[in-house]
Amino acid sequence: MHKVVAFKRPVTPAPDVPMQGYVIRNFTPNWFATTMGTGILSVALAQFPGHPWLFAMGQALWLFNILLFVTCTTLYTARWLLYFHEASRVFSHSVVSMFFGCIPMGLATIINGFLIYGIPHIGDTAVAIATMLWWIDVTLSLACGLAIPFMMFTRQSHSIDQMTAVWLLPIVASEVAAVSGGLLLPHIADAQTQLTVLMTSLVLWACSVPLAMSVLVILFLRMAVHKLPHVNMAASSWLALGPIGTGALGLLVMSQAGPAVLSANGLASVAPAFGGASFLGAILLWGYGIWWLATAVLITLRYLREGLPFNIGWWGYTFPLGVFAVATLRLSTMVPMSSIAIFGAVLVIALVCMWLLVAAKTIKGTLDRSLFVSPCLKAD
């Protein structure tokens, strides 16, 4: 059975091991969490139309995130090409394999950026790029959501006492893609294509949110019976907020864009019901997320008493908080309550602070190579 040792500080490489070889050999899909956290911050900064300087900062962050995603993809591809046998061990590892879900989720934030920041500069070209990338993202998300759980059932060793919220990562990718699909809808001219994207997004949502909710039930039981995970997995306490916030955001987006799409395709009779049901479901999920947000804060405060060693898993603090913040701000545009908008702004401020902290520590860990560790190599 794999123990939770995925983020221990690695042994310093021997002097004769080239730096680039060491980095590539120990590069894991965990690193794509950096693109998720950076991408969701770029999206969150665009939610304040009255502050163009925030929009400019978000755009710069989006461009940087594209470079970051390309870099991670290049390094991870190089690992498979140069160290195929070692790289393939990831499928048997009960922790690291979960992070495959970070790849399509990181890509989804870039797709959203094309719709937010790309259209003002390159117009329809940005929509075409976003559409192409979205279908790739759909494929990757469904593959992760099916393949990784199947490997959990057949190849990996798991136990309830070792369970953490990282089980959610391969599952949640589909609902993140569903949000991107909903954002894409208003920019598609053809009504039939709109319906295809809407139906695909709904299926993606259905393949993710109910399953994620069932995992949260098991996670609640696991923490009640076996208490909190090891301090190295402290950031995983925030991951539960991810599927809730993303699920709510997906419903909010589709409640706004969906009725017009249905009406344009001869389904006007169900359009109002669709919009109302989606909106109501989003509010219920959002309210549920407040409980998990408060719980995550309390758990983090408890971990602080023990001391929190930094690892790449700290990026788990960013994306769940960010997507819940974006969902809150989206809700504030639909419900005339200023308190919701204020709450969303506070969440974004917290996200900025957390991103700055985690980014600074990541840069330090990258320079001294302490963050480059592949647990699969130790699991012989």
Condensed to tens digits (0 to 9), the pLDDT of residues 57-95 reads: 999 999 999 999 999 999 999 999 999 999 999 999 999
pLDDT interval class at 8 (50, 70, 90): very low
Rounded distance, CA 208 to CA 220, Å? 18
Q: Does domain 19-370 have CATH number 3.40.250.10?
A: no
What's the pTM value of the predicted model, to 2 decimals? 0.93
Q: In the prediction, which pLDDT does 117 show? A: 98
Q: In the prediction, which pLDDT does 11 show? A: 41
Enumerate the domain spans of the chain: 19-370
pLDDT interval class at 379 (50, 70, 90): low
Rounded distance, CA 353 to CA 146, Å? 35
Question: Does 368 have pLDDT greater than 80?
Answer: yes
Could you tell me if 135 and 92 are in contact, meaning their C-beta atoms sit under 8 angstroms apart?
no
**C-alpha triplet 24, 136, 254: angle, nearest 5°:** 125
Rounded distance, CA 297 to CA 43, Å? 23
